[in-house]
C-alpha cells in the first residue's frame, strides 16, 4: 500500500458549494442519489475532478445534465477522475451499497437492525463518490426514505425541514444543515429509537432543542448524558464565549461502534458505553467517561467543525485541542483544587501507560505526523493525549487569559476554514505578542523528551541553582532532535515542607510566588534562585507542566519530604510513585535473578509513608486512592531494559501483599470510614470515597483471611451500585479464591445489559489466573462475538494489554492466539484488528526467547496475502 506524505499536499481542484443527497434505505441495497454543485478552484492548476469511492456500485454519473460514458472518466482503485471538466459543474451520481454487509462500521452500516453512519476519517466515500477530504467544505441537504415500521426515526445533520408519508409503508424526512462542513461530519440515522428531550435556554436567551436518542428500554439511562450535555453547553459559553450555533443538537447511542463517539454536526453518534448510565449498571468511571466524551464531542462543534483540519496530518489541531478542552471541563466540573489535581494525575497516568510507550515504539510519530499509510491508525494517544499536552503548554506559558486571547484570535481568523496546526500556534503567538517559533518542534519531532535536572546550593551567596538539560531519543526517521521549548514549573520546599517565596534571577513573576515556570529552550540552561536561606528540596515539573521524563537524583529522604508536604498535589503523588518504582524495580530484579518471591523484603520507611498518607483525612479520598496505587505492570516494564513480565507481576503482587498485611488495621478502618450510604451520586467526592474504599478492599483481598473474604462477599451481595458491586467481584477474582459462583450470579443479573456483560468479560480477561486457554473458553460463551467492537475489546484486548504476565507466557501460546485473532478480526473490521495488532509494539524489549516467538507471530500475520492496509502498516512497522 502507498504511503501518503504531508509534504505532498495540494489544494483541491474543485470546490463544492452544495450537496443534495437522497437515500432509499434498504439493508441489502441502498440507493444513494447525490447531486453536487462545484466550481473550479482558482488556486489549482488542475481541471480534473477527483472523487473518492469505495465498495460502491456506480449506476450513473451525469455532468451538467449529460450521462458520462465510461470512456469519459476513469476509476483507479478508490479514485474516480473526470478530466478536462468545465469551470462550473453539476454532478449527479447514483450508486448502490450494501449496509448489512458492512462489518467495518465505516460508512453506512447496520447495527441491531438499524442504519447508522461513521464518516471520519474516510467513511463518506463508502456512501457516495465525493472529494472526501476535510478541506472541501459544503452545504448539505439530505432526503431520507425508509420503511416506517422498521425505521420510524430518520435523522441527519442540521434542521428537519420536511417529513411525511410515502407509498408501501415508507416515509421520508428532509434535513438541511445551515453550516458548511467537510464530508467526514456527515451523518444519518434510520432506526427504531426513543429519546429524552429538553428545551434549553442559552445564555443569549435563544432556546435550543436537546435530544438523547437510545433503543427502547434504555430511556432510564439517559439522564447523565443529558445533564453532561447541558453542562458542556454552559461551560463553553462561560470559559470560551462559544455558543451552540444550531437550534437542535442530537446525541444517538449505538451498540456497534469503532471508537468512543463522533462529533457529526448537530448529530453526534455515540458508542452506548459513553451514553447509557444508571447506578445499577454504570460505575463511577463510566459516569466520568460519559461526562468527558459528551463534553469532548460537544466542544468539537467549534474546535473541529466550525474550524476544521486542512488535511488529516493536522488531526491534532482538532483532537489535541478538544481533549484539552474536555480535560479542563471535567476539572472545572469538580471545581476544587484537589479535584483538579486528581484529574491531572489521571492524565499523567494515561500518558505514561500508553503515550510514552507509543512514543518509544515502532509506531512513534510526531503530534502532526509526516506520513501515513492508513489514517485510521493515527487516531492515537500521541495525536490525542500528547496533542492535549501541547495545547496545555500554551496555557502554561501564556496564562489562562493569554490562552483565551489566542483562542479568540483563532476563531476570528479561521471560522469556516480548514486550517493547519501552524495556524493555531500563530494565533497564540500573535494574540500575545510572543515568539513561539521554537514551539513548533512539539508538532514535528516524535519521542518523549528527557529533562535532566541538577542543583547546587551556595550557602554564602544564598543562591540555589537548578541546571536543566534536555535530550530526546531517536525515533524512526528522526535520529537527531533539536531542543524543545519546555515549560518547567518549579517550587522549593523548606525543611518544614513549606513553599519558599521565589526570587528567580531575570524572572518577571509576581512577588512572593511559590511556583514559577522556567522556560527551557536551550540544550542546557542554568536558573538561579536568590535569597534562599537553606538548601531546599526542589519540586520540579509541578502539575506535570510538560510531557517529558524528568530525571533528578532525589534521595529517599527528599522524596519522602515531598510525599509528605508538597503543596503541588501532582508532585506529591509523583514522589510516592518514584519511591514505589525504585522498590518495584529492585524487587523485580531479585525475582528475575532468583525465580521466586521467597526472599523479598519491603522497607518499613515506605510502608510508614503509605500508612501516614492513607490515614491523613485532611487529604481528598480520591487523591489518597491514587497515591496508594502502585505503578502498573506496563509502566514498570517501560523502565526496564529487558522486560520480565512474570517477575514484574510477582514483585508487584509481593508489594501489594506486604502493604495489605502491614496496613491491615488502617485499611479496614478506611474501608468503613469511606462508605457512601444513601442514594447513589457520581459526584467527585462520593466517587473518591468509593475509590478509596474499594482500593482498601483490594489490598485486603490480596491474601485474604475468612473475614476479609466475607467483607468482599457482603459488599457484592448488598451493593447498591455497580461501582461497589464490580469492585467486590474484581477483588474476589484477584484474591485467588473461587469466585465462580459470584461471576455466575453477576452474569445472570446482567445478561441483558450488553455494557455490563462487557465488564464481565473484561474482569475475567485481566484476572491473574486467566491464561490463553481460559480466554479461548470464554470465546465459546454464547454472549461472545468478535463482530461487536466493545465485546471484542472487553475480552481480547483486556487479555493482551491488561494481563501481561499471562499474555507473555513462556511457551508463546498467547502470541499464536494473538496472530489468529488479528487475522480473523481483520476480515471483519480492519480498524479494530489494527488496534489489536498494536499489542505487539514493544516486542523488541523482551528476553530473546520471548522476542523470537513474538517475531514469529508478527511474521505469521505479515505473511497473509489479504491483509488490510490498517493491519499491514502496524505489523510492517513493528517488524521494520
* Residues acting as catalytic residues: 297
| Strands of 114-118's sheet in order across | 107-111, 114-118, 188-191, 153-156
CB of 257 to ligand HT7, least distance (A): 7
DSSP 499: B
- What minimum distance in Å lies between the beta carbon of 831 and ligand HT7? 6
Residue with Cβ nearer Zn ion (326 or 638): 326
What residues does 466 pair with on adjacent strands? 455, 527
Q: For residue 326, state whether it binds ligand HT7 (rule: CB under 6 A).
A: no
319, 358, 374, 841: residue in contact with ligand HT7 (rule CB under 6 A): 319
Taking CB under 6 A as the rule, does residue 499 contact ligand HT7?
A: no
Sole window of 96-104, 314-322, 403-411, 717-725 interacting with Zn ion (rule: CB under 5 A): 314-322
- β strands within 367-523, DSSP E: 371-372, 418-419, 450-458, 463-471, 486-493, 516-520
- For ligand HT7, the closer of residues 576 and 830 by Cβ is 830
- Calpha distance 115→569 (Å, rounded): 47
Segment 321 to 350, residues that bind Zn ion, using CB under 5 A:
322
Q: How far is the CB of 868 from ligand HT7 (least distance, A)?
A: 13
Q: How far apart are CA 349 and CA 626, in angstroms?
A: 10
Binding residues for ligand HT7 restricted to 202-241, rule: CB under 6 A: none
378 binds, among Zn ion, ligand HT7, none (CB under 5 to 8 A by kind): none
- Element (DSSP H or E) covering residue 321: helix 315-334
Q: Pick between residue 30 and residue 117 the one whose CB is nearest to ligand HT7.
A: 117
Question: Residue 120 binds which entry of Zn ion, ligand HT7, none, with Cβ cut-offs from 5 to 8 Å by kind?
Answer: ligand HT7
Applying CB under 5 A, what is the total number of residues that bind Zn ion? 2
For Zn ion, the closer CB: 118 or 650 = 118
Which one of ligand HT7, Zn ion, none interacts with residue 110, CB within 5 to 8 A by kind? none
CB burial readout 231-245, b (16+ within 10 A) else e: bbbebbeebbebbbb
Q: Which span (247-255, 311-319, 434-442, 647-655) binds Zn ion, by CB under 5 A?
A: 311-319
Toward Zn ion, which CB reaches closer, 157 or 268?
268
Binding map of ligand HT7 across residues 806-835, x = CB under 6 A, - = no contact: -------------------------x----
Among candidate residues 523, 487, 472, the one with its CA nearest the CA of residue 364? 472
Q: Residue 184 or 554: which CB sits closer to Zn ion? A: 184
User: In the bound complex, what is the minimum distance in angstroms from residue 384's beta carbon to Zn ion?
Assistant: 7
Smallest distance, Zn ion to C-beta of residue 302, A: 12
CB of 250 to ligand HT7, least distance (A): 16
Q: Residue 264 CB, nearest distance to ligand HT7 (Å)? A: 9
- DSSP labels, 757-814: HHHHHHHHHTSTT--HHHHHHHHTSTT--SSSHHHHIIIIIHHHTT-HHHHT-TT-HH
- Minimum distance, C-beta of residue 297 to ligand HT7, in the bound complex (Å): 5
Pick the closer one to Zn ion by CB: 319 or 753: 319
Strand partners of residue 117:
108
Angle at 252 between CA 247 and CA 258, to 5 degrees: 130
Q: Which residue reads 496546526 in cell numbers?
A: 421
Cβ of residue 376: shortest distance to ligand HT7, in angstroms?
5
List Cβ<8 Å contacts ≥24 apart for 1-8.
1/373, 1/374, 1/869, 1/872, 1/873, 2/373, 3/371, 3/372, 3/373, 4/371, 4/372, 4/373, 4/375, 5/370, 5/371, 6/311, 6/313, 6/368, 6/369, 6/370, 6/371, 7/370
Longest alpha-carbon distance in the chain:
94
Nearer to ligand HT7, 215 or 297 (CB): 297
For cell 502502585, name the residue: 630
The residue (of 263 and 620) whose beta carbon lies closer to ligand HT7 is 263
Partner from Zn ion, ligand HT7, none binding residue 644, C-beta < 5-8 Å depending on class: none
Q: What angle do CA 739, 743, 749 make, to 5 degrees?
A: 145
Residue 374 interacts with ligand HT7 (CB under 6 A): yes or no = no
Enumerate residues 672-701 that contact ligand HT7 by CB under 6 A.
Answer: none
The residue of the chain with the least Cβ separation from ligand HT7 equals 259
540, interface contact from Zn ion, ligand HT7, none, CB < 5-8 Å by kind: none
Size of the site for ligand HT7 (CB under 6 A): 15
**How many CB atoms neighbour CB 750 within 10 A?**
19
Please give the helix or strand (H or E) that residue 116 lies within, else none. strand 114-118
Among residues 16, 25, 32, 121, the one that binds ligand HT7 under rule CB under 6 A: 121
Part in contact with ligand HT7 (CB under 6 A); list of ranges 117-125, 458-466, 674-682, 691-699: 117-125
Instruction: State the DSSP string of 683-715.
Output: -HHHHHHHHHHHHHHHHHTSS--HHHHHHHHHH
Query: CB under 6 A: which stretch of 116-124, 141-149, 464-472, 610-618 binds ligand HT7?
Result: 116-124
- Grid coordinates standing for 546? 510538560
Site string for ligand HT7, 237-276 (x = CB under 6 A): ---------------------xx-xxx-------------
By CB under 6 A, residue 183 contacts ligand HT7: no
Residue with Cβ nearer ligand HT7 (312 or 760): 312
Using CB distances below 5 to 8 A depending on partner kind, what does residue 284 bind out of ligand HT7, Zn ion, none? none
In degrees and rounded to multiples of 5, residue 796 shows phi and psi of -75, -50
Residue 297 sits in the site that holds ligand HT7 (CB under 6 A)? yes
Backbone angles phi, psi at 444, to 5 degrees: -105, -20
The strand pairing partners of 35, in sequence order, are 20, 92
Stretch near ligand HT7 under the rule CB under 6 A, chosen from 8-16, 245-253, 293-301, 861-869: 293-301
Is residue 292 within the footprint of ligand HT7 (CB under 6 A)? no
Q: How far is the CB of 611 from ligand HT7 (least distance, A)?
A: 42
- Among ligand HT7, Zn ion, none, what does residue 583 contact (CB within 5–8 Å per kind)? none
In Å, what is the CA distance from 269 to each residue of 56, 272, 725, 825, 863? 23, 9, 29, 23, 36
Looking at 140, 379, 716, 843, which residue binds ligand HT7 (CB under 6 A)?
379
315-323, 407-415, 622-630, 785-793 -> range binding Zn ion (CB under 5 A): 315-323
Q: Which of 353, 317, 570 is nearest to 426 (CA)?
A: 317
Phi/psi class of residue 424: alpha, beta or left (left: φ > 0; alpha: ψ in -120 to 50)? alpha
310, interface contact from ligand HT7, Zn ion, none, CB < 5-8 Å by kind: none
Residue with cell 480534473: 48
819 burial (CB, 10 Å; 0-12 / 13-18 / 19+) is buried
Query: Which segment (284-292, 312-320, 464-472, 551-559) binds Zn ion by CB under 5 A?
Result: 312-320
Residue 384 Cβ, how far from ligand HT7 at the closest point, in Å?
Answer: 7
Measured from the CB of residue 318, what is the shortest distance to ligand HT7 in angstroms?
A: 7
- CA-only gyration radius of the chain, Å: 28
Nearer to ligand HT7, 229 or 559 (CB): 229
C-alpha cell at 684: 467527585
- Residue 177's binding partner out of Zn ion, ligand HT7, none, with CB under 5 to 8 Å set by partner kind: none
Q: How far is the CB of 689 from ligand HT7 (least distance, A)?
A: 31
- Name the strand (E) or helix (H) holding 627: helix 621-628
In the complex, the residues that contact Zn ion under the rule CB under 5 A are 319, 322
In the complex, the residues that contact ligand HT7 under the rule CB under 6 A are 118, 120-121, 258-259, 261-263, 296-297, 300, 319, 376, 379, 831
Amino acid at each position: 500500500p502507498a504511503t501518503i506524505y504531508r509534504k505532498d499536499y495540494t489544494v483541491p481542484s474543485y470546490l463544492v458549494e452544495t450537496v443534495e443527497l437522497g437515500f432509499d434505505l434498504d439493508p441489502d441495497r441502498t440507493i444513494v442519489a447525490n447531486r453536487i454543485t462545484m466550481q473550479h478552484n482558482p488556486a489549482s492548476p488542475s481541471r480534473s475532478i477527483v472523487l473518492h469511492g469505495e465498495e460502491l456500485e456506480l449506476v450513473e454519473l451525469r455532468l451538467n445534465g449529460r450521462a458520462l460514458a465510461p470512456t469519459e472518466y476513469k476509476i483507479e482503485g478508490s479514485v474516480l477522475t473526470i478530466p478536462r471538466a468545465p469551470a462550473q459543474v453539476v454532478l449527479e451520481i447514483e450508486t448502490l451499497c450494501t449496509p448489512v454487509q458492512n462489518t467495518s462500521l465505516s460508512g453506512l452500516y447496520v447495527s441491531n437492525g438499524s442504519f447508522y453512519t461513521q464518516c471520519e476519517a474516510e467513511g463518506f466515500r463508502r456512501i457516495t463518490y465525493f472529494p472526501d477530504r476535510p478541506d472541501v467544505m459544503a452545504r448539505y441537504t439530505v432526503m431520507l426514505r425508509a420503511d416506517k415500521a422498521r425505521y420510524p426515526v430518520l435523522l441527519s445533520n442540521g434542521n428537519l425541514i420536511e417529513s411525511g408519508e410515502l407509498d408501501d409503508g415508507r416515509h421520508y424526512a428532509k434535513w438541511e444543515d445551515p453550516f458548511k462542513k467537510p464530508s467526514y461530519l456527515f451523518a444519518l440515522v434510520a432506526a427504531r429509537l426513543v429519546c429524552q428531550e429538553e428545551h434549553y435556554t442559552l445564555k443569549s436567551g435563544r432556546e435550543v432543542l436537546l435530544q438523547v436518542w437510545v433503543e427502547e428500554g434504555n430511556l432510564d439511562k439517559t439522564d447523565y448524558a443529558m445533564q453532561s450535555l447541558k453542562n458542556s453547553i454552559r461551560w463553553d459559553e462561560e470559559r470560551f464565549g462559544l455558543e451552540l450555533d444550531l437550534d437542535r443538537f442530537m446525541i444517538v447511542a449505538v451498540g456497534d461502534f469503532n471508537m468512543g463517539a463522533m462529533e457529526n454536526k448537530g448529530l453526534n453518534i455515540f458508542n452506548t458505553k459513553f451514553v447509557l448510565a444508571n447506578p445499577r449498571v454504570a460505575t463511577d468511571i463510566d459516569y466520568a467517561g460519559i461526562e468527558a466524551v459528551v463534553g469532548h464531542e460537544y466542544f468539537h462543534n467549534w474546535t473541529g467543525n466550525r474550524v476544521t483540519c486542512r488535511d488529516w496530518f493536522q488531526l491534532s489541531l482538532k483532537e489535541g485541542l478538544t481533549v484539552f478542552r474536555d480535560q479542563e471541563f471535567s476539572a472545572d466540573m469538580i471545581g476544587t483544587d484537589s479535584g483538579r489535581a486528581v484529574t491531572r494525575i489521571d492524565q499523567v497516568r494515561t500518558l505514561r501507560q500508553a503515550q510514552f510507550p507509543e512514543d518509544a515504539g515502532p509506531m512513534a510519530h510526531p503530534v502532526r505526523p509526516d506520513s501515513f499509510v492508513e489514517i485510521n491508525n493515527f487516531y492515537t494517544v500521541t495525536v490525542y493525549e500528547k496533542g492535549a499536552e501541547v495545547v496545555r503548554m500554551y496555557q502554561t506559558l501564556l496564562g489562562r487569559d493569554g490562552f483565551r486571547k489566542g483562542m479568540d484570535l483563532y476563531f476570528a481568523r479561521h471560522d469556516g476554514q480548514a486550517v493547519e496546526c501552524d495556524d493555531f500556534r500563530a494565533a497564540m503567538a500573535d494574540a500575545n505578542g510572543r515568539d513561539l517559533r521554537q514551539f513548533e518542534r512539539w508538532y514535528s519531532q516524535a519521542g518523549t523528551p528527557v529533562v535532566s535536572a541538577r542543583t547546587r546550593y551556595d550557602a554564602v551567596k544564598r543562591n540555589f541553582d537548578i541546571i536543566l538539560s534536555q535530550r530526546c531519543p531517536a525515533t524512526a526517521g528522526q535520529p537527531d532532535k533539536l531542543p524543545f521549548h519546555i515549560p518547567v514549573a518549579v517550587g522549593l520546599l523548606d525543611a518544614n515542607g513549606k513553599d519558599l517565596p521565589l526570587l528567580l534571577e531575570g524572572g518577571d513573576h509576581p512577588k512572593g510566588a511559590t511556583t514559577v515556570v522556567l522556560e527551557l529552550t536551550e540544550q542546557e540552561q542554568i536558573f538561579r534562585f536568590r535569597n534562599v536561606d537553606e538548601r531546599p528540596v526542589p519540586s520540579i515539573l509541578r502539575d506535570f507542566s510538560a510531557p517529558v521524563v524528568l530525571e533528578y537524583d532525589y534521595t529517599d529522604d527528599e522524596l519522602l519530604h515531598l510525599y509528605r508536604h508538597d503543596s503541588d498535589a501532582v508532585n506529591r503523588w509523583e514522589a510516592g510513585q518514584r519511591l514505589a518504582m525504585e522498590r518495584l524495580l529492585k524487587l523485580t530484579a531479585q525475582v528475575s535473578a532468583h525465580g521466586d518471591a521467597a526472599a523479598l523484603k519491603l522497607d518499613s520507611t515506605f510502608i510508614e509513608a503509605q500508612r501516614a498518607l492513607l490515614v491523613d483525612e485532611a487529604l481528598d479520598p480520591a487523591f489518597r486512592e491514587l497515591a496508594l496505587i502502585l505503578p502498573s505492570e506496563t509502566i514498570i516494564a517501560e523502565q526496564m531494559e529487558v522486560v520480565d513480565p512474570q517477575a514484574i507481576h510477582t514483585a508487584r503482587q509481593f508489594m501489594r501483599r506486604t502493604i495489605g498485611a502491614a496496613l491491615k488495621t488502617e485499611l479496614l478502618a478506611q474501608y468503613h470510614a469511606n462508605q457512601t450510604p444513601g442514594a447513589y451520586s457520581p459526584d467527585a467526592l462520593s466517587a473518591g470515597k468509593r475509590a478509596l474504599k474499594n482500593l482498601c478492599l483490594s489490598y485486603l483481598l490480596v491474601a485474604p483471611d475468612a473475614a476479609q473474604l466475607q467483607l468482599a462477599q457482603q459488599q457484592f451481595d448488598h451493593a447498591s451500585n455497580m461501582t461497589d458491586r464490580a469492585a467486590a467481584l474484581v477483588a474476589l477474582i484477584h484474591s485467588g479464591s473461587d469466585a465462580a459462583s459470584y461471576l455466575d450470579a453477576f452474569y445472570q443479573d446482567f445478561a441483558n445489559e450488553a455494557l455490563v456483560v462487557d465488564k464481565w468479560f473484561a474482569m475475567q480477561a485481566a484476572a491473574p489466573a486467566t491464561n490463553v486457554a481460559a480466554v479461548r473458553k470464554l470465546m465459546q460463551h454464547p454472549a461472545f462475538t468478535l463482530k461487536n467492537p466493545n465485546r471484542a475489546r472487553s475480552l481480547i484486548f483486556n487479555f493482551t494489554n491488561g494481563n501481561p504476565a499471562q499474555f507473555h507466557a513462556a511457551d508463546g501460546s498467547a502470541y499464536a492466539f494473538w496472530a489468529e485473532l488479528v487475522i480473523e478480526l481483520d476480515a471483519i473490521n480492519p480498524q479494530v484488528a489494527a488496534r489489536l495488532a498494536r499489542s505487539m509494539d514493544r516486542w523488541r524489549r523482551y528476553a530473546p526467547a520471548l522476542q523470537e516467538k513474538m517475531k514469529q507471530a508478527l511474521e505469521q500475520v505479515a505473511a497473509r496475502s489479504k491483509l488490510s492496509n490498517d493491519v499491514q502498516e502496524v505489523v510492517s512497522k513493528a517488524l521494520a
